[in-house]
Amino acid sequence: MKAKLKSIEGSITAPKGFLASGVFCDIKRLGTGKGSNKGRKRDLALLVSETPAVAAGMFTTNQVCAAPVKVCIPRVAKGRAQAVVANSGNANACTGRQGMKDAIEMTRAAAAAFHLPAEQVLVASTGRIGVCLPMDNLRAGIRQASQLLGHGPEHAAEAAEAILTSDSRPKQVAVEFKLGGKTVRLGGICKGAGMIQPGMSMSGKRPAARQLHATMLCFLTTDAAIERAPLQAALQEAVAQSFNRVTVDGDMSTNDTVLILANGLAENAPLASVRAKEFQVFQAALNQVCLELARMIVRDGEGVTRMVTLRLSGARSYTDADAAVRAVANSALVKTSWCGGDPNWGRIIDALGYSAATVVEEKVDIGYSAPGAKKVIWSLRRGQPTGVSFKTLCQAAAPREFDLHIRLNLGRAGAILYAADLTEAYVDFNKGDVSNPASLGG
């Protein structure tokens, strides 16, 4: 079902009853000395619902997972939360017992400001791994953030800015739609850039026999009235089609987190189950918001100059489709060819061939199209070059965004993946500068 959605301003504060703020607490500048305001960046975001809300979440399936993720999982499982506190510049990952204490302390500090139980506050972090949080900075930041909360789009924008790490720009979306005659709003902010190949689940546990793969954080708000189970189901489905279908560099983070709060202030008839009449409308809206945010993450990935949407079909199973499409999207040689605008199908079929999927060379089709367009220029059909000129293929692979179509022609399963090129800028950024430890990324 395609929801009639209207894009609106304000992202996470667009839905009724949500307040946000984003402040400076100098986590990102640690080690570089303080004093001037030059280069100071917002690094603490706070999001609060005026009324109790239903909560759902999806978390990294990395076995090495950060303290804030460990704190959130059981809280989200209870299904209710009223606030989210998040910092950038430090992932609070691999920080042992102190890390757990600090993550809980963050939620306590935020809870105290609003006279909430700490369990009603969720927490997320992103940044360098293995360094304990500067808790004095965080306490001061949380205090300030709770005083600066507001409903306006400028407040949402500051929160969106405060969760960024190597991102070049904030990422915000909000939509408005009708649910049972009532106007409902749904908004979100997210961050990505590097260590981006999320594979999230509700419990942080991996599905058996399947390898999943940023730090990406996403916070969603809605004033829809919806119960816990359908909200979690809707989020799982939306994440499966969006954040879990992107890869920038193939590295899955220790901190990936998507959270949604639904406070019911739109006063629609509450969605009590996935079979509720209006559930598909909500699902469609959530899918679209998540996909839009996920694609922003790929476009703004570290050093990224091209976003490629891989559309693979004809695999024997979904497992095969996923393995094949990830092998292509994460191949260093395929990614560098995208960087050069080189329609090198040889590297693509090579990656298909070494993937865990069943692939038969003589059956493979490879082609290009404009984003979402139906007209495909095939470079390879049934394993053989089609004779389309190199110049034409170069034109197809030249745009900043294009679709790469792969047909295995062996079965009926398919998969989509939103991927990026690998550039010198990515290497330059991530090799860092050991003479300036503060320059080193997560």
Residues numbered 242 to 261 that lie near its own copies (CB under 8 A) are 249-254
Which of 78, 207, 361, 412: binder of its own copies (CB under 8 A)?
A: 361
Which of 79, 180, 341, 399: binder of its own copies (CB under 8 A)?
A: 341
Instruction: Kindly tell me the burial class for residue 325, based on how many C-beta atoms sit within 10 Å of its own C-beta (0-12, 13-18, 19 or more).
Output: buried
Of the pair 177, 345, the CB lying nearest its own copies is at 345
Piece of the chain touching its own copies by CB under 8 A; list 18-26, 37-45, 48-56, 86-94: 86-94
Q: Does 399 bind its own copies (CB under 8 A)?
A: no
CA distance 192 to 216: 5
Which of 1, 269, 332, 373: binder of its own copies (CB under 8 A)?
A: 332
For the beta sheet containing 365-369, the strands, ordered from the edge strand earlier in sequence to the opposite edge, are 384-385, 377-381, 365-369, 401-407, 307-315, 413-420
Number of alpha helices (DSSP H) and beta strands (DSSP E) in the chain: 11, 16
DSSP H helices, 300-396, are 318-329, 332-339, 345-354, 390-396
CA distance 194 to 252: 9
Q: Does 333 bind its own copies (CB under 8 A)?
A: yes
Residues 6+ apart with CB under 8 A from 384: none
Q: Does 52 bind its own copies (CB under 8 A)?
A: no
Q: Minimum CB separation from its own copies for residue 25, in Å? A: 21
Q: Is position 215 annotated as part of the catalytic site?
A: yes
The binding track of 12-51 with respect to its own copies, each residue x by CB under 8 A or -, is: ----------------------------------------
CA distance 386 to 377: 9
In the Cβ-directed half-sphere of 356, how many Cα atoms lie within 13 Å? 11
What single letter denotes the amino acid at residue 133? L
Which of 28, 128, 185, 405: binder of its own copies (CB under 8 A)?
A: 128
Q: Minimum CB separation from its own copies for residue 55, in Å? A: 25
Cα–Cα distances (Å) from 76 to 56, 105, 401, in that order, read 6, 17, 36
Q: Does 129 bind its own copies (CB under 8 A)?
A: yes
Q: Minimum CB separation from its own copies for residue 336, in Å? A: 4
Of the pair 27, 364, the CB lying nearest its own copies is at 364
Q: Minimum CB separation from its own copies for residue 220, in Å? A: 24
Which of 225, 286, 359, 413: binder of its own copies (CB under 8 A)?
A: 359
Element (H, E) at 125: strand 121-128
CA distance 123 to 104: 8
Residues 6+ apart with CB under 8 A from 338: 306, 308, 397, 420, 421, 422
Q: Does 337 bind its own copies (CB under 8 A)?
A: yes
Site residues for its own copies, window 175-204 (CB under 8 A)?
Answer: 194-195, 199
Give me the catalytic one of 13, 126, 215, 254: 215
Piece of the chain touching its own copies by CB under 8 A; list 72-80, 115-123, 125-133, 160-168: 125-133
Q: Does 354 bind its own copies (CB under 8 A)?
A: yes
Piece of the chain touching its own copies by CB under 8 A; list 144-152, 183-191, 259-267, 330-338: 330-338
Q: Minimum CB separation from its own copies for residue 72, in Å? A: 17
- Return the active site residues: 215
